[in-house]
Amino acid sequence: MMMAQNNSAITFEMKLSKPKLGLNERLRVDFVMNRDGDNFNPPDFNGFRVVMGPSQSISSSWINGVRSYSKSYSYTLAPTAKGKFTMKQASIVIGGVTYKSLTKEVEVTTAVDKPSDQMTADDVADENLHLVAEIWKTNPFLNEAITVIYKLYVSPNISVSNYQPLDNPTYNNFWSQDIKVSSLSAQNGTYKGKPYRYVILKRVVLYPQKSGKLDIEPLSLDVTVDVPTGRRDFFGGRIYAQTNKTVSAGNRTINVKSLPLADQPANFNGAVGDFYFSVTTSKTSLNATESLQATVEVNGKGNLKLFKLPELVLPSALEVYEPEFTEGVRTTLAGMQGKVSNQYTVVPAFKGKYPIAPLIFSFFNPTTAKYITLTSDEIVVNVLEGPLSASNNSATDPNNAKQSVISSGTKFNFIKLTPNLSSTTVSYFFGSTNFYIWLLSPLLLIPLAIAFRKKKEAKAGDIVGNKVRRANKLARKYLSAAKKELGNKDSFYVALDRALHNYLKAKLKLETSEFSKDKIVELLGKKSIETNTIQSFTALLENCEAARYSPFSDVQMQADYEKASEVISLMDKQL
């Protein structure tokens, strides 16, 4: 403690709550003065972390006509290592004179079983604030839905004024779908047998894509907490101390069971759940060159977005086009439910009856832990009118058995002995109409050749137009390459990403180095592209980036390919 040179009774000193403490305890440091001062400068607290402070308190009273005054700056410190540390000097200016506190030694030992220091705001928050990840079904089958609900439990002893996420889990090795939380409404509950209020912050449905032990990364939040102190204000109201706490749901591990290999059907393609299966046609009787729609549909509850539908097999006499995929799936806390279907357009070319062979669909039911195989009914398409093909008679015969040909009438006829001959005249090419046409045709082609040459020179001089045409050609090339790579995740999304970027290069006349998500959104907005189209385009780019780190199913790839075609078509119209 230093005194002013006029030997007045001004004091400024540092007080420690204890000279020795454990690594898991807290140290309170007070800098106390008996006169009001300015420019307070604390030490750097080497070896400690400030968990609360500085908090300022002032007290003033009159006793027997003598005024008593005290002002203090208080800190709560947490040790960062074991050892002996020196609390360096703090300084303050009182009455134009600088006063400095004396240094003090503090010893930090190993953690103690029962910390004896008074609880700080951080300690109170630790005991009254908890983030919990509640997992439904911790031992699922491969591709069986599990649900994770994140709840923030808050004791009635404290209040939360704000929070923000620090680290969101990425759910590697899972297909994930967030379930939107419409409102953060508090509910009554219990945590470890004690009454709490809780709010649901996040809900997510996961489908494990790999068997074995899988980790679910923690969700971490930075929470602003108001903790009541033992002090009261002038009006008797309780004074609160505010602190920020980082809470985490903790790392969770689930054990994913492999699907049994015993009795697994040969045509099983990864469907897990409880499903219905059907193959239907819009009609069974029609004329040749008319069309019908054949629909292969799976509906029910399970991993509807994560498997491929059986492919329709038709007789060669029925022309079939690429199917149109339709998805009507909603994801709830119980998982995916709804239906997926492929609709084929079929056009018969010849008259006859053509059977559509039954299709087989197999899935694994996790509730019964058994495989189930469903078979569709055979459908016969009756083409009433149309030309007859050479193989028409065998169209209705599944064994394509040859049938005997029966001739009508007399089997043998006499050869005619008297021919009906007519005379012919000889015509010469020279001097004919064709002769003059061929003679004059080179002269007629000269103007066409001149026009073609001028057009070619204009096209060669159009540098920007040539760049656009080349970029368009590249976009078509890479979109075609993406189609060929369906089923191969990495190659597909690389090709799709190139196609999208080359398309933009063609339409917006940008160099590749200029591309960024914000730049793309800005430029498309200036081109009066609709907001929904821009969002769809950027979503495809994000999927191409996310595919490097996350598993994507064949169904998702097919959907992204079709979405790319749709978005490019829409943008062409809007541009």
Q: What is the pLDDT of residues 203-247, one digit of tens each?
A: 999 999 999 999 988 889 989 988 887 666 667 667 778 888 888
d(CA 330, CA 304): 10
pLDDT band at 553 (very low <50, low <70, confident <90, very high): confident
Tokens for 120, please give them: 């700080």
pLDDT in tens, 94-153: 888 999 999 999 999 988 776 655 567 777 888 889 999 999 888 999 999 999 999 999
Which DSSP symbol is given to 477? H
Q: Residue 346 and residue 289: Cα distance in Å, rounded?
A: 9
pLDDT over threshold 50, residue 55: yes
CATH of 463-574, one of 3.90.550.10, 1.20.120.330, 1.10.1670.40, 3.40.190.10: 1.20.120.330
Angstrom distance (rounded) from CA 130 to CA 223:
11
Distance CA(243)–CA(318), nearest Å, equals 74
Provide CB contacts within 8 A for 218, sequence distance 6+. 133, 167, 169, 248, 249, 250, 251, 252
- The percentage of the chain sitting over the pLDDT mark of 90, rounded to a whole number, equals 35
Query: Which of 20-24, 163-167, 282-286, 550-554: highest mean pLDDT?
Result: 282-286
What is the pLDDT at residue 5? 37
The confidence score (pLDDT) of residue 265 equals: 94
Confidence (pLDDT) at 423: 54
Task: Say how far apart CA 552 and CA 292 lie, in whole Å.
Answer: 33
CATH top-level class for 273-394? mainly beta
Mean predicted lDDT score pLDDT of the chain: 81
Instruction: Report residue 298's pLDDT band, with 50, 70 and 90 as the boundaries.
Output: very high
> 12-118 — its CATH code?
2.60.40.740
Residue 327 has pLDDT above 90, yes or no: yes
Give the residue from 290, 344, 308 showing the smallest Cα distance to 553. Answer: 308
Q: What is the pLDDT of residues 63-108, one digit of tens each?
A: 666 777 788 888 888 899 889 999 999 999 988 899 999 999 999 9
For 56, 293, 355, 379, the CA distances from 384, given in Å and listed in that order, are 97, 17, 14, 16
Of 38-47, 65-74, 156-165, 336-345, which range is least confident?
A: 65-74
- In this chain, the answer to whether the domains covering 12-118 and 463-574 adopt an identical fold is no
Give the residue-averaged pLDDT of 385-400: 57
pLDDT of residue 177: 92
Assessment of whether the complete model's pTM goes beyond 0.75? no
Residue ranges per structural domain of the chain: 12-118, 123-256, 273-394, 463-574
pLDDT, mean of residues 545-565: 78
407 pLDDT tier (thresholds 50, 70, 90):
very low
Cis omega (within 30 of 0) on the bond before 54? Answer: yes
Task: Supply φ then ψ for residue 318, to 5 degrees.
Answer: -105, 120
Residue 411 tokens read as 């089997």
